[in-house]
Amino acid sequence: MQNQSDVVERRGATFAASDNQVLRRTYGLLSLTLLFSAVTAFFAMSSGASQGGATIAMIGAFIMLFVTMGLRRSVWGLVSVFAFTGLMGYSIGPMLNFYIHSFTNGPQLVMTALGGTGVMFLALSAYVLTTRKDFSYMGGFLMIALLVLVLASVAMMFFPMPAMQVVISGVAVLIFSGFILF
């Protein structure tokens, strides 16, 4: 007959294996969506997509957020996630072209942003995975902070202040770092 501690230990191992499988699938799906987004951004850059087309793609991506939430429990949710990331990648293409062609160090700017984002994502993910802290309590705060960030960005279009642009950029880094933890 098995003793109680053996049964509990095996259940814990089963849950740990299940958690690892979910994490592997999640990171695998994230990798595929990021690659798809990069391909659509490259397509937008090489086809010379206009800022108007990028704006339409951004509006479509915003709509796809709600579609994805509605379809999250069906196989069509996976399709809508890829549609969302593809539209986001396409909308980024003209901005990347602008930075690459407008500045003498444009490619370095883009690669520094890419590298910094990757390092930040890996570091924060490693922190959450090693400490096993639950950051789900941050959800409401992050959504309100994101809304304030969007409103401040819109206000900056009408009242441009260089110092405020730096503040908004710094706050955006903190908010999206919080989303990675979340």
| pLDDT score of 82 | 94
| pLDDT score of 117 | 85
Tell me, what DSSP letter sits at residue 43?
H
| pLDDT score of 54 | 85
| pLDDT score of 17 | 59
Place of tokens 């969302």: 84
Place of tokens 């883009």: 110
Q: Which residues of the chain have pLDDT under 70?
A: 1-19
| pLDDT score of 7 | 45
Buried b or exposed e, range 95-111, using 16+ CB within 10 angstroms? ebbeeeeeeeeeeeeee
| pLDDT score of 148 | 93
